[in-house]
Structure 1
Amino acid sequence: MDAKKIIETEKKCVMQTYSRSSIVIDHGKGCYVFGKDGKKYLDLFGGLATCSIGHGNKKVAEAVCNQAKKLLNVTNLYYTEPQVILAKKLVNLSGLGKCFFCNSGAEANEAAIKLARKHTGKTDIVSTKHAFHGRTLGALSATWKEKFRKKFEPTLPGFTFVDYNNVGATENAITEKTAAVIVEPIQGESGIIIPDEGYLVKLKKFCEEKNILLILDEVQTGTARTGKFFAYLHYNIKPDIVTLAKGLANGVPIGVTIAKEGIDFDKSDHASTFGGNNLSCAAANATVDFILEKNLMENAAKQGNYFMKKLNELKNKHDMVKEVRGKGLMIGIELNAECKDIANKCLEKGLLVNCVSEKVLRFLPPLIITKKELDIALNILDGVLG
């Protein structure tokens, strides 16, 4: 089908849950994607942080092809090697106990909520204002924005929202029913909101004192996005439970909930037919290996620092830019106007960026991105902001 026919058929056959851009993407290579018409786009959105090591990565493609020829899925009623290999890697990288595998970030957060209730025997969860933890009913109950929740209420009972970056507000919300606090190390969907340096440290200390579990949602910040494999490693703390998804398998669906020793499901407490399937785990193993072999955590930190420095130079040049925020390659620039038109102008110039929370351009490029590619993006941004 040509691009026009694809768009027409999509509108007839697919539920319209997304406001799509006007292009049809055909294939990708590295930090670039190519439209059906052959036009080349520099991708600074990375499939919403899912394509962590770039499009068409040979190591992942080879792992997926080889695994597809061998075995795709036999469910979790049997032992499989790729899942066990991945679990061991993630346990070592996280410093935690055991993994539960699923298929997405929302599912990973659902599992974390169930695990917290099961382990503590308590029901209530404290989340934060402007948080995003997913769209399935349990994860949605911990998600702040009214536009995500309103049509589907009532959500689950027992969820309270407090100010982000405010441990005192969390303290005031705790009751004898509180099982856990769930928080993002950096709020992504709300516009790349970075908490104070001591926030997570103080929150962890408070949770320990009150015997409350701390759940960190690293669906977006994890897999080396911020310059460490997990963002909490910047602060020398360990959560009781952490969730991971998006970039873990470089675009192949996967989610995982990792918990401390002693926090565990029993048989039949929870399950996922496709969770930890051979194909996803093969892709994830290849992705993690590539990140470690190519020192992409260091590259995320280095290129992120460079990009933020240059974006701040654009801020000083263009009145439209209000603030630059970020850590590693998770970066946002807040504008003094709605950003949709700017994102569309970037698209016309061959640059993919994301507009979030009305006024923030969000950048989540592949971790392999180079200074040369960032300079191309900066030149385009300079032009459209002028």
Structure 2
Amino acid sequence: MKLFDVYPLFNINIVKGEGCYVWDETGTKYLDLYGGHAVISIGHSHPHYVDMITKQVAQLGFYSNSVINKLQQEVATRLGVLSGYDDYSLFLINTGAEANENALKLASFHNGRTRIISFSKSFHGRTSLAVEATDNPKIIAPINNNAHTTYLPLNDIEVVKAELSMNDVCAVIIEGIQGVGGIKLPDNDFLKELREACTATNTVLILDEIQSGYGRSGKFFAHQYAGIKPDIITVAKGIGNGFPIAGVLISPIFKPVYGMLGTTFGGNHLACAAALAVIDVIEKDHLTENAAQVGQYLLQQLKSFPQIKDVRGRGLMIGLEFEEPVKEIRNKLLYEEKVFTGVSGTNVIRLLPPLCLSIEQADEFLQRFKKVLG
């Protein structure tokens, strides 16, 4: 059997990681400014993370959700305090797409509606409703194209209000910062008015913080810059530093009923150990504050590069837009300067490094980037 060929691959086999660096099988060292799509939050192979997972798997890796799991309870308690949402409830699953699926399902249970408002260039996952809420027709199969979703321009509140006034919208789902869409930021005032409009029309507001959450923006959640509280928040990626775990943070307005949601692997003992290790390190090493400080430094420095058309983002979630396609720039960074970065579309480079990135490592990147840009 061979692999189903759906990923265009760089001819590099990464075999080791430590902090903000990775190594390939030949021993070549790379600076990691992408963190595997914003997944690596506390750094590769953090010793505390390795220790917690090792001890847990030696004791118990998995048992079902039919018994008490005190590790789940501990994750919920500590995440509530760290995020500022201690009055919300937590449902644990495995992936970001699952988180958004369950969020949309909860919203529909709550108000009985079926229409979704999503935004231009949004990305919410690759399964069922999550992919239908994603503004990319290339990845929406006919079986998923069920006309549930209306896509609207980001930051145009009057257009949103007009749709919500029909009183048939189940949920508005919006990213704290658009990732795949090119590091596009919702305006603070837009989010405030969106919150008010959703409340007025009994529409559930879902904040997809899968890429922009867990300290990456310089606050725990990117929407907290606007001072709002959504009804549901979805998290994944950084929550487990590479171990598959995701969560749905659920407002007290929702009442749980046995059987309404469920999962086999979600919130298993090993996943919870990973999540607790991440919380430990974020707190101890002040990684949210570090993301704000180092991110601000990077943004300021990058804005002085005349070759870049636009620099945008918050914290360590940064987009660099060029007039021309960035494929050659990215390839030179990777193969000549040994730096991993991401892209969004044709003209945007995405920077999503581990949250432990230092000023010195930021300077290391800037020096290599200057060489590539000439």
Query: Which category describes the TM-score, using the shorter chain as reference length?
Result: over 0.9
Cα distance change on mapping 1:40 and 1:293 into 2, 3 Å: same
Of all paired residues, the percent bearing the same amino acid is: 39
Contact in 2 for aligned 1:185/1:200 (Cα 8 Å) = no
Which amino acid is the alignment partner of residue 353 of structure 1?
T
1:370 matched to which residue of 2? 358
1:9 matched to which residue of 2? none
The more displaced of 284-293 and 260-269 is 260-269
Measure how far apart 1:366 and its partner are: 0.5
Superimposed CA distance per residue, residues 294-333 of structure 1 (whole angstroms, 9 cap, x where no aligned partner): 111110000000001111111x2x2xx1100010000010
Which amino acid is the alignment partner of residue 107 of structure 1?
E
SS at match of 2:303: helix
Superimposed CA distance per residue, residues 193-223 of structure 1 (whole angstroms, 9 cap, x where no aligned partner): 1122312111111111222110000000111
List alignment gaps of at least 5 residues for structure 1. Answer: 1-11
Contact in 1 for aligned 2:176/2:208 (Cα 8 Å) = yes
Q: Distance in 1 between matches of 2:93 and 2:20?
A: 27
Which amino acid is the alignment partner of residue 384 of structure 1?
V
Task: Give yes or no for the alignment of 1:54 onto 2:35.
Answer: no
The equivalent position to 2:59 in structure 1, one of 59, 70, 80, is 70
Contact in 1 for aligned 2:116/2:169 (Cα 8 Å) = yes
2:329 matched to which residue of 1? 342
The equivalent position to 1:290 in structure 2, one of 253, 268, 281, is 281
Contact in 2 for aligned 1:137/1:156 (Cα 8 Å) = no
Which amino acid is the alignment partner of residue 51 of structure 2?
E
Q: Distance in 2 between matches of 1:89 and 1:167?
A: 35
Contact in 1 for aligned 2:14/2:22 (Cα 8 Å) = yes
Q: Distance in 2 between matches of 1:224 and 1:248?
A: 10
Match runs of 1:60-99 below 5 Å: 60-92=49-81, 93-95=83-85, 96-99=87-90
The more displaced of 260-269 and 103-112 is 260-269
SS at match of 2:105: helix
Measure how far apart 1:358 and its partner are: 0.9
The equivalent position to 2:10 in structure 1, one of 21, 24, 44, is 21
Match runs of 1:157-196 below 5 Å: 157-174=147-164, 175-196=166-187
Q: Distance in 2 between matches of 1:135 and 1:334?
A: 25
Superimposed CA distance per residue, residues 269-291 of structure 1 (whole angstroms, 9 cap, x where no aligned partner): 12110000111111011101110
The more displaced of 13-22 and 101-110 is 13-22
The more displaced of 31-40 and 288-297 is 288-297
1:299 matched to which residue of 2? 290
Task: Give yes or no for the alignment of 1:333 onto 2:323.
Answer: no
The equivalent position to 2:250 in structure 1, one of 255, 259, 263, is 259
Q: Distance in 1 between matches of 2:255 and 2:339?
A: 44
Superimposed CA distance per residue, residues 317-363 of structure 1 (whole angstroms, 9 cap, x where no aligned partner): x2xx1100010000010011111111110011110001211110000
List alignment gaps of at least 5 residues for structure 2. Answer: none
Measure how far apart 1:160 and its partner are: 1.0
Aligned length in residues:
370
Q: Distance in 2 between matches of 1:81 and 1:33?
A: 34
Q: Distance in 1 between matches of 2:36 and 2:325?
A: 22
The more displaced of 179-188 and 262-271 is 262-271
The equivalent position to 1:323 in structure 2, one of 310, 327, 342, is 310
Q: Distance in 2 between matches of 1:352 and 1:30?
A: 14
